[in-house]
Amino acid sequence: MNDVLQAFGRAFRSMLHPRMLALTIWPMLVALAVWLGLAWVYWDNWSQWLSAMLSASDAVGWLQQHGFTGVVRYSVWALQWLLLVPLILITALLIAAVIEMPLIVSHIASRDYPALEKRRGGTVAGSVANATAAVLVFAALWVVTLPLWFTGFLAPVLPVVLSAYLNQRLFRYDALSDHASAEEYRAIVKSSRGRMYALGALLALLYYVPLLNLLVPVLSGLAFTHFGLAELARLRRVNKFPSPPITGERAG
């Protein structure tokens, strides 16, 4: 667990560099602007669509017949926000992962791991495939677990658990794609999966902190880059992985 906390702390330290500070806020601001703008225009349409879906439910029909239309209206409003929040989160994280991760990895590697050899096990296609899979699984889990959000007990836990999955799945590939071979990437994911989830959960908790949550997408990229490159350096010291020829093999 020490390596998780070290990566977390190093991410904060790295974020204070002017080059990283320039990247921090705009992914979340862009995501907020996009989705709040869409909500401003289409909120009533979304409400009608969700109301029509809920009306097909026997439970909602019973509530409407017995005069509980206010409960149904509140449920529609709450459901819209529950769907809007992950869309904002996904958009901000995708901006950080797709656009900013190459800059983040280059910055961290040059300053903290200058001797780490690049074995380029990842590809652009692999990065796109990884991001697509991460978003699809996250969205499916969010939809499947929606009924549990209304239990009250699990409502504070589910966002952290789901965001932990998204964080580690989205950033681990790009953090290692330049420096790790395909074999090394698979070995690190296998040996560090639990710690990556722990780091993802730690970062997910910051979404509950006002203002600081604006920085989480870039902070996540920094934290997983520190964690991944440190694990890679340790793996090479322990196992002395040979340097393979560049074959274009995708890292998982």
pTM: 0.79
Q: Tokens 């604006």 correspond to what residue? A: 214
With 60 as the cut, is the pLDDT of residue 79 above it? yes
Side-chain-side CA neighbours of 206 within 13 Å: the count stands at 20
Distance between CA atoms of 27 and 95, rounded to whole angstroms?
Answer: 6
DSSP state of 56: T
Band of pLDDT at residue 24, cut at 50, 70 and 90: confident
With 90 as the cut, is the pLDDT of residue 233 above it? yes
Q: Which residue has the higher pLDDT, 151 or 219?
A: 219
With 80 as the cut, is the pLDDT of residue 181 above it? yes
Q: What is the pLDDT of residues 98-145, one digit of tens each?
A: 888 999 999 999 999 998 999 888 888 888 899 989 989 998 888 888
With 50 as the cut, is the pLDDT of residue 251 above it? no
8 A C-beta contact, residue 11 and residue 222: yes
